[in-house]
Chain A
Amino acid sequence: MAMLLATESNEWAYVASAYGLVIIVLVAYAAWTIARGRRVGRQLPSEDRRWM
């Protein structure tokens, strides 16, 4: 039983690392994209901010 529990917690560690990795990477990428957007947006004259 102790061995079974150890295996189960090991499985959860892998599950948590997969979900954690995806969430961290997506949030970091979104933050980086938004930060780049703010930097470029500040340099852009207002008449060029419109698309279509």
Chain B
Amino acid sequence: MNTDTKGPGSGAGLFRVYPGGTASRGSRTFGIVLAIATAVFLAFALLWSPPDSGANASENQMGEMVRIMYIHVPVANACYLAFFVTALGSVMYLWKKTDGWDLLAAASAEVGVVFTVLTLATGSIWGHIAWGTWWEWDARLTSTLLMLVVYLGYLALRRAILDPVVRAQRAAIVGLIAFANVPIVHYSVTWWRGLHQQATISRFDPTIDGLKLFSLLFGMLVGVGFYVWLMMHRFRLEYAEAKLESKGLDVALAERRAEAMADTAVDTTGGTLIGPKGTN
């Protein structure tokens, strides 16, 4: 049991697990900045940006419900980013075979799953009030649900394989294949007919402007900020768990070695011919 209670020291602060857990000076500072940015975002999204009604309304005249978009799009964007990082980590692991990339891929997949659940939940709320349905088997919704299930499968696969090297290898292949669905999710609204609207900002002529556009873009920035902050903690946790796992393996190996040594000692003194297998 560790009793080291020293505080944050110098050195690579970002990649360090402190006795108190995954927080560091960097993550705390970033967390404070993020909290302030979130408060400003909420003010823009809920108070300062206009409702989609009156003289400045769009053809949809969505009223207050347009505000759901300022949080739905950023969480969706963050889950794309998370799964991109998982794919990047997977490719880099297959290329470099260094554990860090595998840990990055795993940590990012879990954060991505949380954002995907939020994307589906906020989208469902939007769907109920704007479309008139909580759920529809539309191309965008179906492919997003598939994406969630596939990445849940990725996380389950990691837990099912006990050997760290085999796990990293297979997870990297799955992490890479799973990403093929992400562009399908994004372009599903263009490729197939469905209820979900087409792209508003990821096009040459964005169909949103003024404070609505600012709220949306600021929300996306805060969403990326949340992803980065959660990853600072989640990556360190993944690293610490991997270290602990290899420590557990070392302890088990040391036990077996001790047993083997003891058996060999018995063999030599007793003159029996059994090997170090320890068939007791």
Interface residues of A (CB under 8 A from B): 7-8, 10-12, 14-15, 17-19, 21-22, 25-26, 29-30, 33-38, 40-46, 48-52
Contacts and interface: CB of A to CB of B under 8 A. Distances in A.
A34 B12 contact: no
Contacts of B15: 50-52
B212 interface: no
Contacts of B6: 46
Interface residues of B, number: 49
Interface string B97-131: 00010000000000000100110011001101100
A38 B244 contact: no
Contacts of A41: 17-22, 240
Give the secondary structure class of A's interface.
Answer: helix
Nearest to A50: B16
Contacts of A43: 1-2, 244
A46 B65 contact: no
Interface of B: 1-2, 4, 6, 11-12, 15-23, 42, 45-46, 63-65, 67-68, 71-72, 75, 100, 114, 117-118, 121-122, 125-126, 128-129, 226, 229-230, 233-234, 236-237, 239-241, 243-244, 247
B84 to A, nearest CB: 19
A51 B12 contact: yes
Given A38-B21, A44-B2, A50 B11 contact: yes
Chain A to chain B: the 4 pairs with minimum beta-carbon distance, closest first: A37-B22, A51-B15, A38-B21, A46-B4
A33 B236 CA distance: 10
A18 B71 contact: yes
Q: Which among A19, A35, A49 has the greatest number of chain B C-beta atoms within 10 A?
A: A49
